[in-house]
């Protein structure tokens, strides 16, 4: 019976931590800026800024996709070579 009470306290503590973390995160996001980039409020961003962000994300996604394709192709080639070598010895 004593173990149940301590678990209830742990669960309550976790719930409170989640609540506090969300409110801190919202405050952090709304006031963030650093020395390198100026904070841009998404509600006040101009269409030009949004187009620039969209283009940058598209370029980054294309690079990531290319890397995934190259890695997948390399792994498939290695698997095929390994299976070919194993079949010669069996």
Q: Output the pTM of the full model.
A: 0.47
Which band of pLDDT confidence, cut at 50, 70 and 90, is reported for residue 3?
low
Residue 88 lies in a domain: yes
CA distance 70 to 72: 6
Residue 63 lies in a domain: yes
User: Do 2 and 28 belong to one domain?
Assistant: yes
User: Do 80 and 56 belong to one domain?
Assistant: yes
Average pLDDT of 22-43? 57
Give the total number of structural domains in the chain. 2
Residue 40 lies in a domain: no
Residue 11 lies in a domain: yes
Could you list the residue range(s) of the whole structural domain that residue 88 is in? 46-90
Cβ within 8 Å of residue 32, ≥6 positions away: 39
């Amino acid at each position: 019976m004593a173990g149940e009470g301590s678990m209830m306290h742990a669960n309550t503590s976790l719930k409170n931590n989640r609540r506090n973390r969300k409110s801190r995160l919202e405050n952090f996001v709304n006031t963030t800026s650093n020395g390198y980039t100026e904070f841009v409020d998404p509600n006040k961003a101009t269409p030009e800024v949004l187009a620039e962000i969209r283009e940058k994300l598209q370029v980054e996604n294309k690079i990531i996709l290319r890397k995934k394709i190259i890695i997948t192709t390399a792994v498939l080639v290695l698997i095929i070579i390994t299976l070919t070598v194993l079949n010669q010895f069996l």
